[in-house]
Structure formats: C-alpha cells, structure tokens
Structure 1
Amino acid sequence: MSAAPLKVWHDRDGRLLRLRLARPKANIVDAPMIAAIDAALSDHLDDPRLMGVLIDHEGPHFSFGASVEEHLPGQYEAMLRGFHAMVLRIVAAPVPVLVAVRGQCLGGGMEVAIAGNLIFAAPDARFGQPEIVLGVFAPPASVILPERMERCAAEAMLFSGQPVTGTEAHRLGLVHSVSDDPERAALDWFDSGIAGHSPSSLRLAVRAARGPYVERIRTRLAEAEALYLNELMQTRDAVEGLTAFLEKRPAQWEATR
C-alpha cells in the first residue's frame, strides 16, 4: 500500500490537474481517500491557469467502492457527510472534470466518476452501484444517475445493483467514449478540445452549462442524505446487510426470516 492514497500533480504546463487513485488493486474510497481528493480539489481549483482535472487510477481497477466498515453505526454519519461534500466539490468544479476508467468502477468509486463531466472508459470496464444488495442505497448515484442517463436505465442500475460494461454505459449515455487506453483518450480530448481556449471563458462556459444542474444535485443530495441517515439506517435490514457482507454470509432480511 502506498503512503498516500492519492497522487497529485500538474500536467500540460499547469493547465491540467492530475488526481490518481493510488491504492491498487481495490482503490477503496475510504476516509483517507475522500479527504485526499477533497483537499487536492480545494487547493487547486481556484488556480486561474487551470483548465481541467483528470481523475484516473493505478492498477487494473478504478475502485471497488467505499469502505463497508465505515458504513456501520457509529461511523456512517461522518463518513457520509464527508463523502457528499467531496462529491459536491467535483460536481461544482469550475473546470471540466475528466475521468478515465478501467476495470471495476463500483459503489462509491462510481459515484466519484459520475460526479465529473466526461467519463472515458475501457470497453470491458464495469460500472455498478451494488449498494442495494447490501441493504442500503447510494445517495449521490440516486440523484446524479437520473440526470446523466435515461431514467429507466438509471433506476435499473440503482434498484438491481447489476453492473454494465463500458460499452453499454456508452450506449446509455453515461460514458463519453470507449477506448482501450482511456487515459490517453482523455488527454487527447483535453489537448484537442479545450487546451487552446481562454481559461476565463471556459470557466464561464462551465458555469453557464452546469449552474442549474449543480443546484439540483446539491438540493437532492441533501434530501437523499437525510433519508439515509434518518430512515434507512434506523432499519434492521440496513445494518444486517452490511454486517452479513463483512461476515461473508447471506443476509437474513426482516421479511424473510
């Protein structure tokens, strides 16, 4: 395991901020990873030279998801609020946020990816929100996915927990493009698509395009967070599902005992 969960550097003469999840192979989005992503964005997004962010990953997988242990009673309140603040920082970024994905992109890892603007994925990447299988739901995905793709397809992912491939995610409109080298595809898009633009005009264009969307996500995420904290986590099944996963046994749901 590397000393830091995230590698941070500048590329393209300081115009592109690079964030690389650096705890392969799982790249779990736990409290240290959440804090590192949030701090990097907080430190650099106001740089007037900056024209984009690229989030990618070490190892064969983008992320297996969030830490299940941090979803248990006594931990989930702080975890959820910190995670949602970080997701909102990505959603409200003043420059385009590009995401390059190979392998598994699940749960909280997928929520990091869909918070950005454009996803570049390998054809066989796997996007999924499996939280419902554990007896919980994914607040950021619940509000972001129906904004990014057809509602029926978004709800199918959220309610079933079944993943889709990068190719299928592209067909559904979730992924911008598929490529065997998604990092290179993202860099090429930056170079040919926006690198030559005025940095100040680009920021205004992002604000014009995403302003109402950002406010909808902010409002709906607060509602989903309250539902999670005040209702979901007061149920027996939510704790049972998480505990059963950690204990590697089938969950015994309340209605089926």
Structure 2
Amino acid sequence: MNLPTTETLLLEQKDHALHITLNRPSVRNAMSLQMVHELMAVFESIKDDRSVRAVVLRGADGHFCAGGDIKDMAGARAAASKADENSDPFYTLNREFGRMITQVNAAPQVVVAVVEGAVLGGGFGLACVSDVAIAAESAKFGLPETGLGIPPAQIAPFVVNRIGLTQARRLALLGARFNGSEAARLGIVHTVCDEANIDQELQDVLAQVKRCAPEANIITKALILSVGNHELDTVLDNAAQSFSDCVQGQEGQEGTMAFIQKRRPSWAEDCKE
C-alpha cells in the first residue's frame, strides 16, 4: 500500500483495516483545508486496494472533530478582499469539504467512525457518512453553524440522508447539542459505549467486517447508495447482474463450498469466534 505523506493525519494499517486519526489535538481536531486535502488523498490512494477492507476514522486525544477551522475562514476572508470578481475563496473552501465528504461516503471500504468528545459541524457530517459509527456516551454532538451566522452547507444533505428530514431540520435550525445516547436514538450512531469499552467494540466490528466477502461488500455498498438516486427498475436490473456475477465468481463459489464443507471461507479463515 502506497499511502501519501500527511501532516494532519496519523495513518496505520492493522491487518485489514486502515486507521486514520485526525491529528490536530490543540484545536480539538478542527478540520483545516489541509486536512480535507489529505483525507481526499488517502481515500484516493486506497480506493482500489483490496488489502484495505475497512477504514477507521478517529480523532486524537479524546475528540473526534470540532468542525471547520476558523483560521481557514479568516484566511478565506483575507483572500476574498484581494480576489477578482471571478473567484470566491469562501465557495472554494466550503465546496472542497463537500467533495471530501462525498468521497468518504462512496468509499468502497467499510468506513467505521469512532467518535468521542467534540463531534461538531464537519465532524458531525463525517460521522453521518460512516457505515458504522461507535460513540462514547459522553460525546458532544451538534450542528453549531447557524449560531455562527452560517449554514451547514455541505453537511446538510448527508444529515438528511442519515436521520431524515424532520430531525435534520430540528437539529440544524436549533443548533442543538446532545450526547451519545441521543445520537444513537436519532440514528446518527449505531452503538454507544463507555470510553473504556470503545476499543473492544471497534475490534468486534472489524472482526465482523472480516467475515464478509470483500468484493461482495463493495458491490453491496454501491447498491445501497444507488437507492433513491436511480430509477428502481435500473437499480434492480443492476442488482440482478451483480448477483449473477457474484454467484459465478470466485467469492460466490468459495462461499458456497465453505458452507457445504462447514468451514470458514478463505477471506475469514483467521477470524476469532
């Protein structure tokens, strides 16, 4: 695996999972434009790497992400004062985050978010595009943008997709703050743990990922994400073709034989019970 060099992220591959740690602890891992570009570069570098079956997103020193970096906003303001009429630094800054979160949303790997401490703004949005989200009970979630005089512009569509229009409207328009249990009730996260149990919960999730066939997971995730974005008949036509290809392919044959022979398939041979 050929990963890019990063300054705002810590990268470590453990077995079938790439662990990405947002690493700007002095600002509660607020997301700078540099971090956005580094995340995009990392996800681009692994998109075709089948040795990476899961990506774990986490923040350093007890916080996931406190949102966007105010310094970047100040920088965009300074640039805007010097920009010509054909450029808009604020648009560029905000839209880059949207491109990054779209890329993470569509990543072929299983994306697991482990969220603790601050899960605000952009961090909230990042949690909403994970396939599996594990939260500390004490985590603090919120969309504070409207209290700062700005909209949650790139985040809002993903929040709506995650929890539905009714709750998204309430959270965004009130700037509500809430803990891990409420995040689970709303469907933002799937599991809530005490901080002491989060690592074990993560290991359990990664073990479950390993029991699933890698290509089948990739195809399944793409199928799920296509729902609502294409005509239903088109979705079902594509799904039938994917099913046929998989049944006749290497994973389908191996999975069937493993079931008949009462053994684990090759992709899960070293999984623990």
TM-score of the superposed pair, with normalisation by structure 1: 0.76
| Contact 1:120 1:183 (8 Å CA) reproduced | no
Matches within 5 A, 1:39-50: 39-50=41-52
Shift in CA distance, 214/31, structure 1 to aligned 2, threshold 3 Å: farther
Residue in 2 that maps onto 1:159 = 173
Residue in 2 that maps onto 1:94 = 108
For these two proteins, the number of residue pairs brought into alignment is 210
Residue in 1 that maps onto 2:10 = 7
Q: Give ranges in structure 1 of 5+ residues lacking alignment.
A: 216-257
Picking from 168, 173, 182, the partner of 2:182 is: 168
| Contact 1:102 1:182 (8 Å CA) reproduced | no
| Contact 1:50 1:199 (8 Å CA) reproduced | no
Root-mean-square deviation (CA, aligned residues, Å) is 1.8
Residue in 2 that maps onto 1:35 = 37
Matches within 5 A, 1:47-126: 47-71=49-73, 72-73=76-77, 74=80, 75-126=89-140
Distance across 2 between alignment mates of 1:51 and 1:64 = 27
Distance across 1 between alignment mates of 2:108 and 2:177 = 30
Structure 2 letter corresponding to 1:136: I
| Contact 1:31 1:79 (8 Å CA) reproduced | yes
Shift of 1:214: 7.1
Shift of 1:186: 2.3
After TM superposition, the structure 1 stretch with the greater mean CA deviation from structure 2, 182-191 or 77-86, is 182-191
Residue in 2 that maps onto 1:236 = none
Shift of 1:18: 1.0
Shift of 1:32: 1.3
Distance across 2 between alignment mates of 1:44 and 1:183 = 24
2:159 is the counterpart of 1:145: yes
The 3-state SS of whatever aligns with 2:155 is helix
| Contact 1:18 1:53 (8 Å CA) reproduced | yes
| Contact 1:150 1:172 (8 Å CA) reproduced | no
Shift of 1:200: 1.2
Q: Deviations over 1:149-197 (max 9, x none)?
A: 1432221110011111111010111111001233432231121x22022
Shift in CA distance, 148/199, structure 1 to aligned 2, threshold 3 Å: same
Shift of 1:61: 1.2
Q: Larger radius of gyration, structure 1 or 2?
A: 2
2:185 is the counterpart of 1:182: no
Shift in CA distance, 54/196, structure 1 to aligned 2, threshold 3 Å: same
| Contact 1:9 1:17 (8 Å CA) reproduced | yes
